[in-house]
Structure 1
Amino acid sequence: MYIRGVGDIIYFLQQLHPLEQALLAGIFTWGMTALGAASVFFTREVSRKVLDSMLGFTAGVMIAASYWSLLAPAIEMSEGRSIPAWLPAVLGFLLGGLFLRGIDKILPHLQFGSATEAAEGLKTSWRRNTLLVLAVTLHNIPEGLAVGVAFGAAASGYMYSLPAAIALTTGIGIQNFPEGLVVSVPLRREGMSCFKSFNYGQASAIVEPIASVIGVAAVMLVRPILPYALAFAAGAMIFVVVEEIIPESQHGGNAPLATIGTMIGFSVMMVLDVAFG
């Protein structure tokens, strides 16, 4: 079977169970990370300006996806119920942030450019490279959850469509390409071999297929939580953006470029969601 366009992709996915859809979507977003990480085979150095612009782009995509693909549908789904329409979105959003904060406090990780002694989470003897990759893995958990919840929402047939889930997956996949590069190239610069740098880079996103399956399963098992789950994924992503990605993109002295990257990323995701959602 040859997939020639969006219509064919939608038809192909419609033949699959939602769990299979979410798994394929998670594999796609992981694959885009691996593709970005493969850049290390062609270059050992990427300028800080490019890295900061890419981080800004990633932040913009995640912010736009949080609203257009997750929060807005959550509010729309809650209209006409016995509770205020904003309540599920607010509760889910805040719980998503608290969930990521909890993982942030527990999971040992280290931001790029920081000294090993500045590692966050529980104290551990893990190597610096492992801690660096775990920091990016932390970013990818909410992305995988968002993809899974989106396909679960599409399967429910209630105010959410399969094209909307595909648009969200596409946007996250696009921003995962620079994310893979941002992981692998600094590791290569620190003296790690090309293959190991690539392996660490792609491994940072292996959690996405797992999280996507968990997200779709949760929504399918307990459908009334759907608006809460959408907002939960949004809250988790916004926490990562504000706490990690934007500060990292801004402190390298390229704040204007990073900000432009954020606006471009936001615009790309907004276009994807409005055009296909």
Structure 2
Amino acid sequence: MDFIPNWFFELNPVVQALCGGLFTWGVTSLGASFVFFTKSVNHKLLDGMMGFAAGVMIAASVWSLIIPSIDMAEAQGIISWIPAAIGFLLGGLFLRICDQYVPHLHIGLPRDEAEGVETKWKRATLLVLAITLHNIPEGLAIGVLFGAASIGLDVAGGATVTAAIVLAIGIGIQNFPEGMAISMPLRRDGLSRWKSFNYGQLSGVVEPVSAVIGAAAVIFIQPILPYALAFAAGAMIYVVIEELIPESQLHGNTDLATLGAMGGFVVMMVLDVALG
């Protein structure tokens, strides 16, 4: 990847993970910044972009996380499918528990349909928490892959720094509509442009933090690598099915959202196979 400077590949993997998380946070902020230029966004465009984001996450889960998890298990002499299956289910269970107890509100729904424990928090706070919840596995995925790459090709089952960079780029691409999806509704609700932007970008803050945690964890506890990758994949797929796909079809643009998802899947697949 010629556009990545050589010195980046020589950085400590935890620092690389931090950079990857900061990049994805930055793209979220870029999407949220559109609130300074317009008060609303076309529903068809946003639904298509949300579908695209879902497709990216599905492809990333398969090519960047599940397949490397299986390869790593084989390299460690473990039955290949066991860590992938266990980690995947645990990732989904983790998000389900978070959904049940953390107050949050999915995009496009009224305040009285907030999930989690009862709270009097404002709608804006609940919207940010919803996106923040599903940004955690994205940050973990980036960090875990950078950590896996640092261990070496033979042990990590093919995980490379380039593959981790590709994953960060893919997640960054799908973070763009998420920033817009938070800031625009808040602006329409009467918040100032600056407050709407701040809430939109705030949801991405968790990604560099979780990326650092993921990288550090797998470096110091190498046997959890295949489980950790599958865990991130399971959490991401849970988010896609429980949140992104339903939200992309709220306004009746089902076909457009579906085509967007297929396009996002192909883009991420090509990025991972061609570059990773």
Specify the TM-score bucket, using the shorter chain as the normaliser: over 0.9
| Inter-partner Cα distance in structure 2 for 1:170 and 1:127 | 32
Counterpart residue number, 1:41: 36
Determine whether 1:178 maps to 2:173.
no
Counterpart residue number, 2:55: 60
Instruction: Give the match's secondary structure for 1:112.
Output: coil
| Inter-partner Cα distance in structure 1 for 2:76 and 2:225 | 14
Any idea what the Cα deviations from partners look like across 1:208-264, whole Å, max 9, x if unmatched? 001101110110110011111110000000000001110111231000000011011
| Inter-partner Cα distance in structure 1 for 2:81 and 2:240 | 22
Counterpart residue number, 2:105: 110
Counterpart residue number, 1:143: 138
Q: Which amino acid aligns with 1:51?
A: L
Range with bigger deviation, 119-128 or 72-81 = 72-81
Any idea what the Cα deviations from partners look like across 1:21-68, whole Å, max 9, x if unmatched? 011110000000001100111111111111111110110000000000
Q: Structure 1: which 5+ runs fail to align?
A: 1-5
Counterpart residue number, 2:89: 94
Determine whether 1:191 maps to 2:186.
no
| Inter-partner Cα distance in structure 1 for 2:212 and 2:183 | 26
Counterpart residue number, 1:250: 249
Counterpart residue number, 2:259: 260
| Inter-partner Cα distance in structure 2 for 1:142 and 1:94 | 13
| Inter-partner Cα distance in structure 2 for 1:31 and 1:40 | 15
Counterpart residue number, 1:24: 19
Q: Which amino acid aligns with 1:112?
A: I
Determine whether 1:121 maps to 2:116.
yes
Q: Which amino acid aligns with 1:165?
A: A
Residue 78 of structure 1: how far off its partner (Å): 1.5
Residue 8 of structure 1: how far off its partner (Å): 5.4
Q: Which runs of 4+ in 1 moved over 4 A?
A: none
- The answer to whether the Cα contact below 8 Å between 1:148 and 1:216 also exists between their aligned partners in 2 is yes
Q: TM-score, normalised by structure 2?
A: 0.96
Task: Give the aligned CA root-mean-square deviation in angstroms.
Answer: 1.2
| Inter-partner Cα distance in structure 2 for 1:142 and 1:220 | 18
Q: Which amino acid aligns with 1:32?
A: V
- The answer to whether the Cα contact below 8 Å between 1:10 and 1:162 also exists between their aligned partners in 2 is no
| Inter-partner Cα distance in structure 2 for 1:18 and 1:10 | 15
Residue 15 of structure 1: how far off its partner (Å): 2.1
Counterpart residue number, 2:272: 273
Range with bigger deviation, 232-241 or 45-54 = 45-54
Q: Structure 2: which 5+ runs fail to align?
A: none
| Inter-partner Cα distance in structure 2 for 1:10 and 1:76 | 28
- The answer to whether the Cα contact below 8 Å between 1:32 and 1:173 also exists between their aligned partners in 2 is yes
- The answer to whether the Cα contact below 8 Å between 2:108 and 2:247 also exists between their aligned partners in 1 is no
Aligned residues: 272
Determine whether 1:73 maps to 2:72.
no
Counterpart residue number, 1:152: 147
Counterpart residue number, 1:50: 45
| Inter-partner Cα distance in structure 2 for 1:114 and 1:178 | 17
